[in-house]
């Protein structure tokens, strides 16, 4: 019996070490060292090569090392076994930090003061907006959206959130479905996106959506903040909206192509903050422990937790 560790784009070694310590006595193989395909019972993956998992006839479960599973589900030959994704307090907390950081960055005009410092200009803002003046809309009210929305509300932002199914939460205005989206956009001076990438969300952050955001908000134009997935956004539309003033600013952690190509104008647009898809990293310590516990529980006959609904795509 073996565990296949298929990780691309991240350093696999810390994961290998953690799993070797947590599940001693199990053979840990990689796509390069995989010889006995029939022995592989579990696959632990991040962006695995397409077709690889279909070659494992006795696979019982796939464990994603990330919260988003779009890269796994994009494999047309994915075997019909459960996929468990990451739901991890550490990852959730990091995403909350990133969202709060970027909402405050735009609220408190961080770029303006960075530029002023560079030029040694002493000029204050005599019309400073407060969090209470700036309405935030959060697209996606799942594990990450709920935590970020709660942190923003605690800072005094009036927060709304949008999900596929109806939700309620104290202090948060909840919207759902297509009609709910229109209503939420109309009251979003800052739009935070924490949606998964699925057939229904691909390209949702586009010119038509930006046109529905209010232009008369306290910041002088809407702000887009996306840490969901790059293919949720149409980057040409974001740049056009920033150039025309339909958007006032943006913070982007994820991109249509990653790494963001050097020639992308997003790198040097004065109203854009770019981070390298690290809003919330997967830390081997906590996540490997949770996956090892899931494997042991599965072997005791207990159900897997955080199983992806393939029909919904997340």
- Of the pair 109, 286, the CB lying nearest ligand NDP is at 286
Q: Is 163 in the site for ligand NDP (CB under 6 A)?
A: yes
How many residues sit close enough to ligand OXD to count as binding (CB under 6 A)?
5
Among ligand NDP, ligand OXD, none, the one that 140 touches (CB under a kind-dependent 5 to 8 A) is ligand NDP
Token code pair at residue 105: 């960055």
Contact residue for ligand NDP among 137, 196, 222, 249 (CB under 6 A): 196
What's the residue count for the chain? 314
Residue 222 makes contact with ligand NDP by CB under 6 A: no
Q: Which is nearer to ligand NDP, 107 or 227 (CB)?
A: 227
The Cα 36–Cα 57 span in angstroms is: 11
Point out which span in 29-37, 66-74, 213-221, 232-240 binds ligand OXD (CB under 6 A): 66-74
Q: From the list ligand OXD, ligand NDP, none, pick the one residue 224 interacts with, judged by a Cβ distance below 5 to 8 Å according to partner type.
A: none
Cα–Cα distance, 203 to 131 (Å, whole number): 29
d(CA 281, CA 66): 8
- When CB distances are held under 5 to 8 angstroms depending on the partner's kind, the choice from ligand NDP, ligand OXD, none that residue 294 binds is none
Q: Does 45 bind ligand OXD (CB under 6 A)?
A: no
Structure tokens, 180? 């709910």
Q: What are phi and psi of 300, to 5 degrees?
A: -85, 0
Q: Is residue 181 helix, strand or coil?
A: helix
Three-class SS of residue 149? helix
- Cα–Cα separations (whole angstroms), residue 153 to 231, 253, 262: 28, 22, 36
What helix, strand, coil percent values describe the chain, rounded to 5? Answer: 35, 20, 50
Does 67 engage in binding with ligand OXD (CB under 6 A)? Answer: yes
Closest CA to 162 of 133, 221, 205: 205
Which C-beta is closer to ligand NDP: that of 40 or that of 279?
279
Of the candidates 234, 235, 232, 278, the residue with the CA atom closest to the CA atom of residue 253: 278
Residue from 2, 6, 63, 66 touching ligand OXD (CB under 6 A): that is 66
CA distance 304 to 259: 33
Tell me how far apart the alpha carbons of residues 56 and 48 are, in angstroms, rounded to a whole number: 13
Based on the residue annotation, tell me whether 277 is a catalytic residue of this protein: yes
Read off the DSSP letter of residue 307: B
Give the CA count within 13 Å in the CB-facing half-sphere of 125: 12
Is residue 68 close enough to count as binding ligand OXD by CB under 6 A?
Answer: yes
What is the Cα–Cα distance from 168 to 158, expressed in whole angstroms?
Answer: 15
Work out whether 142 is an interface residue with ligand NDP (CB under 6 A): yes
Residue 71 binds which entry of ligand OXD, ligand NDP, none, CB below 5-8 Å type-dependent: none
Catalytic residue among 26, 202, 277, 289: 277
194 binds ligand OXD (CB under 6 A): no
Q: Is 254 in the site for ligand NDP (CB under 6 A)?
A: yes
- Which of residues 143, 282, 290, 295 is near ligand OXD by CB under 6 A? 282
**Is position 143 an interface residue for ligand NDP (rule: CB under 6 A)?**
yes
Beta bridge partner(s), residue 223:
190, 249
Q: Which of 2, 201, 233, 294 binds ligand NDP (CB under 6 A)?
A: 201
Binding site for ligand NDP (CB under 6 A): 66-68, 91, 95, 140-145, 162-165, 194-198, 200-201, 227-229, 253-254, 277, 279-280, 314
Active site positions, annotated: 229, 277
Binding site for ligand OXD (CB under 6 A): 66-68, 86, 282
């Amino acid at each position: 019996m073996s565990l296949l560790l298929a990780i691309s784009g991240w350093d696999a070694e810390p994961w290998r070490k953690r799993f070797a310590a947590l599940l001693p006595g199990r053979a840990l193989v990689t796509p390069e060292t995989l010889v006995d395909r029939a022995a592989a019972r579990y696959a632990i993956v991040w962006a695995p090569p397409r077709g690889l998992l279909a070659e494992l006839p006795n696979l019982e479960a796939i464990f994603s090392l990330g919260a988003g599973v779009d890269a796994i589900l994009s494999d047309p030959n994915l075997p019909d076994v459960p996929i468990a994704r990451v739901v991890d307090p550490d990852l959730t907390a990091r995403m909350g930090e990133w969202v709060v950081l970027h909402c405050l960055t735009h609220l408190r005009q961080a770029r303006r003061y960075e530029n002023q410092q560079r030029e040694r200009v002493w000029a204050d803002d005599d019309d400073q907006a407060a969090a209470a003046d700036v309405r935030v809309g959060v697209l996606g009210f799942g594990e990450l959206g709920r935590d970020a929305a709660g942190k923003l509300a605690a800072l005094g932002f009036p927060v709304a959130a949008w999900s596929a199914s109806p939700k309620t939460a104290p202090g948060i205005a909840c919207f759902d479905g297509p009609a709910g989206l229109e209503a939420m956009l109309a009251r979003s001076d800052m739009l935070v996106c924490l949606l998964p990438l699925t057939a229904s969300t691909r390209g949702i952050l586009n010119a038509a959506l930006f046109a529905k955001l209010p232009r008369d908000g306290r910041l002088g134009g809407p702000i887009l903040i996306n840490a969901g997935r790059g293919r949720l956004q149409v980057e040409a539309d974001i740049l056009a909206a920033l150039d025309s003033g339909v958007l006032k600013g943006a913070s982007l952690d994820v991109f249509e192509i990653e790494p963001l190509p050097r020639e992308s104008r997003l790198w040097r647009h004065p109203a854009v903050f770019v981070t390298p898809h690290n809003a919330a990293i997967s830390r081997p310590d906590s996540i490997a422990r949770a996956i090892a516990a899931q494997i042991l529980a599965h072997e005791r006959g207990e159900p897997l937790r955080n199983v992806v609904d393939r029909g919904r795509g997340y």
